Amino acid sequence: MGFVAGAVALGVAQLVAAVVNQGASPVVAVSGAVVDATPAGLKEWGIQTFGSNDKPLLVTGIVVVLAFVAGGFGLLARSRVAYGAAGLAVFGLVGAVAALTRPESGVLDVLPSLLGAGAGAWTLSRLVRRSRHDAGEFHSGGAARENVAAWTTVADGAGDREDSRTSPGPRADAPARPPVMLAGAALHEFDRRRLLTGAVVGLGVAGATGLGARVLSGGTNVVQARQDVMKALPRPAVPARPIPAGADLRIPGLAPFVTPNADFYRVDTAFVVPAIDPATWTLKIHGLVDRPVELTFADLLKRPLVETDTTLTCVSNDVGGHYIGNARWLGARLADVLREAGLRRDADMLLSVSRDGWTCGTPVDVVMDGRDALLAVAMNGQALPAAHGFPVRQVVPGLYGYVSATKWVTEIRVTRFDQDVAYWTGEGWAPKGPIKTQSRIDVPGEGDNVSVGPTTVAGVAWAQHKGIDAVEVRVDGGAWREAKLAAVPGPDTWRQWSAEVDLAQGRHKIEVRATDATGYTQTPVEEPPAPDGATGYHSITVRAG
């Protein structure tokens, strides 16, 4: 029972992991945590002794240990179901904590362990109930034994029911069973079959969920593949400009200049993150080109790679929204690849296609104008996280994600806007999506209480590929006052800002607006995100007291 419950827990956990995040499988997370916690000497011994088999061996070891521990939970459940369930809960917690301690983990990563443990505990309680039905009534419960005696007597016809009672007991409680149930041995057999069926069903569920997880992840171990890519990442031929010392004002509550991968917003239509093996990945470039090409991942890594700091932004943001993040990308120049393929003059759109069929239409002139439009393979020094496009995605400074940032990209069809329609354009969003100049207040937070007198207001502003020239704030509709701008490495990232405002007692509305390097100042006119990006000033209300 314990083993079956453990198998169900593991199967469900793997399946949830495949759906939620390629990297969050509890077994993989625990393996990773074990490896990290292993002293260097022992680790090196493991690598030397087992070579590249060290990881499969570790996983096998963990699974064997899990099988024994799960069997132990079955034994615990014999005295009380709750003990077994508690064991599984501890199991789940260990998996969840291991998942959270992995680099780049997020809160969602606890789901596989917790849902798996829940499914295991439920299975255990069902199985124990089936076995109780058997053992409880015929081998342990005193009252049950008594009832058996009573029924047996009746069945034997050996006299009057009163006389047959061998011990005092609530005769009225005896269930009114039909005579066929009287043969104790037959009932015993029947219940054992029920228990067996339950166990078989449990194993079936475990197998099916485990198999489902494999199918969903395409049999590709993305965690392993990412680690391999990480080892093979070339140095940039063109390193990014160093991030200036003053780029991060380090104000608590203010978005950091570089968004860690684990905190980076995620927007896509993929219910299951595509699992792509870089060894078989190719990028097909065809359509309005003289020489269609199909690049492999190795081809891409052989090209001179460029490193850039670029802020991605989603068109779906309300004013003040958080679907925005800044990362250091490493990748091949898309413009060079297109030029080599013989880009035709009449082409004005790149219809990029993701492994899962999602499409994106990018204006050719933007990609070719010299900005750092990349086929990116790394994000903040790591291979792309599975959720952010592993192994290759597009990054184009200045365009909203839905027209530029194709993750899991496998194909670029060079075409024309008057001939093709990309995924979101077909849903009514604008065909071309230049990012609108915007700004956001991060500190204080909406509705915060602050003290009377000077208060620091801080946030970020962005106008990718133009650059931010000024940020102003005003209180209660008063005069605009210039904020102090943090340093930036270039025009393609967001820019932190801060300002001091003096607040009298009471409620106050604080607003922000930005001016980009073309001289354009944000419009106060409020527009919703559809069809081409929200406008208006971000504002917060605080109470000074």
Residues making contact with ligand MTE (CB under 6 A):
264-270, 312, 314, 354, 358, 388, 401-402, 405-408
Say how far apart CA 423 and CA 357 lie, in whole Å: 9
Place of tokens 């005193």: 142
Q: Is 166 exposed, middle or buried (0-12, 13-18, 19+ CB in 10 A)?
A: exposed
Among residues 113 and 404, whose Cβ is nearest to Mo ion?
Answer: 404
CB 400 → Mo ion: shortest distance, Å? Answer: 6
Site for Mo ion contains 401 (CB under 5 A)? yes
334 in Cβ contact with 367 (< 8 Å): yes
Other C-beta atoms lying within 10 Å of the C-beta of residue 313? 27
71 in Cβ contact with 2 (< 8 Å): yes
Among residues 148 and 267, whose Cβ is nearest to ligand MTE?
Answer: 267
Place of tokens 């409620």: 507
Say how far apart CA 154 and CA 150 lie, in whole Å: 6
DSSP-derived pairing of the beta strands 282-287 and 409-415 = parallel
Among residues 272 and 470, whose Cβ is nearest to ligand MTE?
Answer: 272
CB 448 → ligand MTE: shortest distance, Å? Answer: 28
Return all residues near 518 (Cβ < 8 A) that are at least 6 apart: 466
Which option in ligand MTE, Mo ion, none does residue 541 bind, with CB closer than 5 to 8 A by kind? none
Of 53-61, 244-252, 314-322, 461-469, the window that binds Mo ion (rule: CB under 5 A) is 314-322
Site for Mo ion contains 402 (CB under 5 A)? yes
CB 265 → ligand MTE: shortest distance, Å? Answer: 5
Site for Mo ion contains 314 (CB under 5 A)? yes
Among residues 334 and 435, whose Cβ is nearest to Mo ion?
Answer: 435
The 10 Å CB-count burial string (b at 16+, else e) for 243-262 is beeebbbebeebbbbbbebe
Question: What residue number has its CB nearest to Mo ion?
Answer: 314
Which option in ligand MTE, Mo ion, none does residue 127 bind, with CB closer than 5 to 8 A by kind? none
Which residue intervals of 354-467 are DSSP H helices? 364-368
CB 107 → ligand MTE: shortest distance, Å? Answer: 16
Which option in Mo ion, ligand MTE, none does residue 405 bind, with CB closer than 5 to 8 A by kind? ligand MTE
Other C-beta atoms lying within 10 Å of the C-beta of residue 145? 17
How big is the site for Mo ion, counted in residues (CB under 5 A)? 4
Which option in Mo ion, ligand MTE, none does residue 26 bind, with CB closer than 5 to 8 A by kind? none
Say how far apart CA 19 and CA 407 lie, in whole Å: 17
* β-bridge partners, 309: 328
535 in Cβ contact with 525 (< 8 Å): yes
CB 522 → ligand MTE: shortest distance, Å? Answer: 20
Angle, helices 81-101 vs 111-135, to 10°: value is 170
Which option in ligand MTE, Mo ion, none does residue 417 bind, with CB closer than 5 to 8 A by kind? none
Which option in ligand MTE, Mo ion, none does residue 520 bind, with CB closer than 5 to 8 A by kind? none
Among residues 151 and 408, whose Cβ is nearest to ligand MTE?
Answer: 408
* Candidate list 267, 301, 470, 517; residue touching Mo ion; CB under 5 A: 267
Report the interface residues with Mo ion, using CB under 5 A. Answer: 267, 314, 401-402
